[in-house]
Each structure stands twice: as C-alpha cells, then as structure tokens.
Structure 1
C-alpha cells in the first residue's frame, strides 16, 4: 500500500510519523507533495519519505491520498487532479468544514471514493482522536484500511457526517480547553509557591493520568471522581467550589459555542 499526502504541513507530517512508527507503512511507501522547497525539505528530513512538487505524482503512485492542504486551496488542487482519478484511489480529506457533498461536486460527481476526517492536534504526539465518515463509494475493506491508517496516530471512529460540528466542539477544539485547564491548575500551584516549570509538570501529568484512568478502567468519570472525594475532605471542597462557579456548565457552553460556530462557518 502506498500513501500520499497533498500538502506537507504540521498535521501531515505528524500523520506520516505515526504511520511509520506504527509500522503501517515504511517511509519509502509514503510520498508527500508540496509546492515549496522548504516544505519538501522539512518533510524529507523529518520522516525520510519521498517528496515531490507535482501533485499528479501522488495519484500515479498511491492508492490512499490525503488532502492535507488548507481548505481555501481545495478547489484548485482538486481541479488539477480530478481528471486523473482512478478506481483504486481513496481520498481522505482533513479540511475543516469541507463536506462530502462539496468534495463530490468538486471532483465532478464521478463516484470518487471519499472519506471526510477530522483529526486533532494530539496526533502530533500519537494520541489524536479522529472522526471519519466515508461516502457510499468506499468499500467496507477500504474503510477498515482507512481506520487502520488513522489509528496509527491515535484513535479513530466512524461518525455520521451530521455530527462533525459536534466533533469540532469536543475533540477538534477540545485540546484548547484542556490546555486552558492545565494552565489554570498550574497557576494555582504557583500561587501556592510551586515553581512554574514544576507546576506545569504536575498539572499536565495529573490530566494525562486522569484521562488514562477513564480510558483504561472503563469506569464512568463520575464514579472515578467519587473515588477521590473523601467525606469532608479536600477534593470535595474543591469540587463544591468548582460547581458553585459553574465549572461543568462553562465547559458545556464553551463546547456548544464551538459546535455552533462550526455549523455557521459551514453554512
């Protein structure tokens, strides 16, 4: 299997690195296309893959083709490649707000195999969360292969396209909320006298460990929270204060705002 990337930005390089590290493909089975020499050189140095300045090289050599350019460049890129699409090609789009309907029309309604994907930035450290939605022309086997590729840099699940705005609010934008929480938690440690560098380490590791407990124990987050809250203890005192300041409501409203903004931008 050959995998191509049209566009070699930060996310594309993170994906390539994950795919190689997971053993899904060897570096020589991945090709990245970029119009800039800087982009090609960086990708070659970072991941050791083949690079090119010609998008048509990707279609000639690859079965699975990631569209990893910015959304405003989709129209000219697809116009360039649409007459060279073959039956074996599966196009995986990560463009925010770029719908399957838009992609199908851009390709000229030629029954092109398309998978809309929304990854998130933790893909850069192999812990991404990707939503995927294939169109009707992608086979079950091709869908499984696509999920195996996406799982190389985190987790991936099939999600109906009408939930992609929700995915934006939860996982697409979600890392920013977590970073904000880590920063606030570290600020509290600094207030208490802890050095800044150490405060970030304690806060980040606490969030990482708590998330891992949710993923690995299968327990409800509320149950895990209750396990930490001893009667008349420090944790329940903190939880009471957070609830008094609408902690959960603020998170819900923030995520909903991102979801609504995503829908408005789409259209």
Structure 2
C-alpha cells in the first residue's frame, strides 16, 4: 500500500476518501488529511477514521502521493510552502480547475512528478468522470496508482494533451449543472401539463438516469435511441421539432464553448 495525503478536504476530497476507504483501495491508516478548517478536519477524522496531519509540510513528508484539493488561487502558495518536503519520487496531484501543470512545476522549482485531474460532482455518489493528464516523469506504475485512486469515485479518462483539459472542464466539469437545468426544465414541463412537482421531478430524474444507463450499458448511440423513441407523426417527434426550432442543440454547444473559453481565461489568470 502507498500513503496518500489530502491537502484540503472539501466535498471532492471527501468523496475520494469515502471511495478509497469504502472500496478498500486504501486503508484508513494509509490516508492523511489537512485543512485550514478545523471543523472539516474533525468531520473527516470522525467519519472516516483517517489521520489528521499537524501541518501541510508534515503531510507532504509522510505521503507518497499528495492530492491538492484547494482553491485555484491558493495552489501556488500551498505548493511553494511544501516544495522542500516533496522528493522527486513523490506524486503531486492537483484537482484545481484551470491550474496547469506548468504553473505547479514553477512553484515546485521545475521538478517533481505532477498530475492534473478534473473530476466532477457525480463523484460525490461514486459516479464521477475524472479526466487525468500525466505530466513529465510519470511512470507506468505511477499511472496505475493515480487511476486506482480516481477509479474509486467513478470512471477515469486519460488526456494526452493538457490544453484539452479546458474542453473537459466545460463538458464534464460544468456538465452536471447543464444536466440539472435540463432536468428542472423537464420537471417544469411536467408541472405545466398537470403533474405534481414531486411526481414531475421524480419522473424527470429517473428518465435522465435510465436513458444515460441505457446508452452506456447497451452501447447505443444517442441518435439511434432518439430514432427508436420517435414514432412517425408521434408525440416525441413533435417535441423534438420544437426543441430544434428553438435552437436546443446549438444552445447546448454554445454553452460548452462559453465554458471552455472561461476555463482558458482562468488558466491564463493563474499564470
């Protein structure tokens, strides 16, 4: 087993700790945590039985893998403070949106093994999508370790070019908000036709959940499923026509493009 330390234990870090301990990928004794909030430290320690480190420096010294789960604007200062405690063999993982491995490398003094990961909020129920970009010096063994850590909260995807992380941030990082808006709109439509709010929301959630599962498990292309449900002169094609007339598809694409553009801006600001 290897030792993993979490600097910052917000919702995403907690999801990782829950996934790692629950799946037995790591034992409680293999995980150390540190946070500026004592209440968060107490919560994590009590709920998961992991060790709380006396400082970020102590955590960095005793961990083989360090996961940075802090706000993007705090990344550089945190890394610079622990740089002397990170040997070349240790893996530093950042899950901060918009912060490139180059920014982290500079803060480290141009050394060390750096990995950038973009998980998303479904990780909170262990159904996340984590895009992983491996920086310089990462070995095959390192890759397996990182994939195992993030595999505990869902599926992992390797990204070959770091610049693609902006698009991934827009699609899978911001995507849950877009899907939530769609679910709310489905629910509103149900209410407008006479359903109760509770029934409409339950139906909308289950419809989206079931559709995603069907596409994933049966390997059905979304177009094929759409055509399967659309009978000639039926209700579905009538509704689809209304969506197309109002630019549904184009608006979704534009939303992804806008989010990707903002991600690029944040990356530039972080430099």
**TM-score over 0.5 for the alignment?**
yes
Is the aligned partner of 1:21 residue 2:35? no
CA distance in 2, matches of 1:179, 1:262: 20
Residue number in structure 1 paired with 2:202? 201
Contact kept in structure 1, 2:61 and 2:86, CA below 8 Å: no
Deviation (angstroms), 1:38 = 0.8
Residue number in structure 1 paired with 2:33? 32
Contact kept in structure 2, 1:13 and 1:47, CA below 8 Å: no
Deviation (angstroms), 1:241 = 1.1
Q: Structure 1: state its 5+ residue gaps.
A: none
- Give the ranges of 4+ consecutive aligned residues of structure 1 lying more than 6 Å apart after TM superposition: none
Secondary structure at 2:9 match in 1:
coil
TM-score under structure 1 normalisation?
0.96
Secondary structure at 1:79 match in 2:
helix
CA distance in 2, matches of 1:230, 1:162: 42
| Structure 1 segment 211-226 matched on structure 2, within 5 A | 211-226=212-227
Contact kept in structure 2, 1:165 and 1:263, CA below 8 Å: yes
Deviation (angstroms), 1:73 = 1.4
Secondary structure at 2:152 match in 1:
helix
Contact kept in structure 2, 1:5 and 1:33, CA below 8 Å: yes
Residue number in structure 2 paired with 1:90? 91
Residue number in structure 1 paired with 2:211? 210
Residue number in structure 1 paired with 2:142? 142
Residue number in structure 2 paired with 1:119? 119
| Structure 1 segment 37-52 matched on structure 2, within 5 A | 37-52=38-53
Residue number in structure 2 paired with 1:175? 176
Deviation (angstroms), 1:53 = 3.5
Residue by residue, what CA displacement relative to the aligned partner does 1:14-49 show, whole Å, maximum 9, x if unpaired? 111111122211222111111321111111133221
Residue by residue, what CA displacement relative to the aligned partner does 1:151-192 show, whole Å, maximum 9, x if unpaired? 110111111201011001100100000000000000111112
CA distance in 1, matches of 2:27, 2:196: 43
Contact kept in structure 2, 1:13 and 1:43, CA below 8 Å: yes
Contact kept in structure 2, 1:32 and 1:58, CA below 8 Å: yes
Which region of structure 1 is more displaced relative to structure 2, 51-60 or 157-166? 51-60
Contact kept in structure 1, 2:116 and 2:132, CA below 8 Å: yes
CA distance in 2, matches of 1:52, 1:141: 26
Contact kept in structure 1, 2:76 and 2:103, CA below 8 Å: no
When the two structures are aligned, how many residues end up with a matched partner?
Answer: 266
Computed over aligned residues only, the root mean square deviation of the Cα atoms, in angstroms, reads: 1.2
Contact kept in structure 2, 1:91 and 1:115, CA below 8 Å: yes
Residue number in structure 1 paired with 2:193? 192
Secondary structure at 2:266 match in 1:
helix
Deviation (angstroms), 1:61 = 2.2
Q: 1:150 to 1:183 in 2, by over 3 A?
A: same
Is the aligned partner of 1:247 residue 2:253? no
CA distance in 1, matches of 2:31, 2:202: 35
Q: Structure 2: state its 5+ residue gaps.
A: none
TM-score under structure 2 normalisation?
0.95
Contact kept in structure 2, 1:18 and 1:152, CA below 8 Å: yes
Secondary structure at 1:91 match in 2:
strand
